[in-house]
């Protein structure tokens, strides 16, 4: 099972989880806490948000969780500029989560490497959600989406699957 970890490593594959904000439903701008292109104050305490991520990971069926290998899951406020580059994110969309690493389907002679990383972006997730219940659901959906990338499932196939 992956570990919720503050370790921040870089890796070669970047597959985005996209969200579309509900225009007019965003919280008011306060102090800059995100990237320069969007200022927003997080409304949920980090510890609570991380618990939601841990709960979403715990709900992954054992047979899938057992197959997850060398994977860290972290929470960050917003994606960095380098994470945004090449992600295919268009204006008006948010990067909610990001899998960085080598999917299980592409590993060969794989040892002595840093863990793959899934990052959930709390600010972006909160920006597309109006209620705490929506945040809980979006965290769950984003975790599932990014774990699927770890197993080598691309965005096109995830759309076909309704994820």
Q: Domains of the chain: which residue ranges?
A: 3-22+32-161
Convert 6-41 to b/e letters by CB count within 10 Å (16 or more is b): eeeeeeeebbbbbbeeeeeeeeeeeeeebbeebebe
**What pLDDT sits at residue 84?**
86
**What pLDDT score does 121 carry?**
96
**CA 45, CA 22: separation in Å to the nearest integer?**
22
User: 120 by DSSP, 3-state: which?
Assistant: strand
pLDDT at 154: 86
For the chain, strand residue ranges (E) read 3-4, 14-19, 71-76, 94-100, 116-121
Residue 87: per-residue pLDDT = 79
Q: What is the pLDDT of residue 136?
A: 95
DSSP annotation string for 72-91? EEEEESS--HHHHTTS-PPT
pTM of this prediction exceeds 0.75: no
At 42 the pLDDT is: 67
Q: What's the token pair of residue 100?
A: 């960085």
Structure confidence at residue 47 (pLDDT): 94
Q: Which fold has domain 3-22+32-161?
A: Zincin-like (3.30.2010)
- Quote the tokens at residue 44: 């949920």
For each of the chain's 163 residues, which pLDDT tens digit applies?
454 443 333 333 333 344 444 433 333 333 334 444 445 556 899 999 999 999 999 999 888 888 888 899 999 999 988 888 877 787 778 899 999 988 888 888 777 788 899 999 999 999 999 899 999 999 999 999 999 998 888 888 888 888 7
């Amino acid at each position: 099972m992956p570990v919720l970890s503050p370790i921040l490593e870089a890796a070669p594959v970047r597959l985005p989880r996209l969200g579309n904000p509900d225009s007019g439903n965003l919280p008011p701008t306060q102090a800059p806490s995100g990237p320069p292109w969007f200022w927003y104050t997080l409304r949920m305490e980090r510890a609570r948000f991380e618990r939601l991520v841990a709960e979403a990971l715990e709900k992954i069926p054992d047979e899938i969780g057992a197959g997850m290998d060398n994977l860290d899951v972290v929470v960050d406020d917003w994606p960095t500029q380098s994470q945004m580059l090449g992600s295919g994110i268009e204006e008006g969309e948010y990067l909610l989560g990001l899998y960085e690493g080598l999917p299980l389907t592409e590993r060969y002679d794989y040892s002595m490497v840093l863990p793959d990383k899934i990052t959930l972006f709390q600010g972006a997730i909160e920006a597309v959600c109006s209620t705490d219940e929506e945040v809980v659901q979006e965290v769950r959906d984003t975790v599932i989406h990014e774990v699927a990338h770890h197993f080598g499932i691309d965005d096109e196939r995830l759309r076909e699957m309704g994820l």
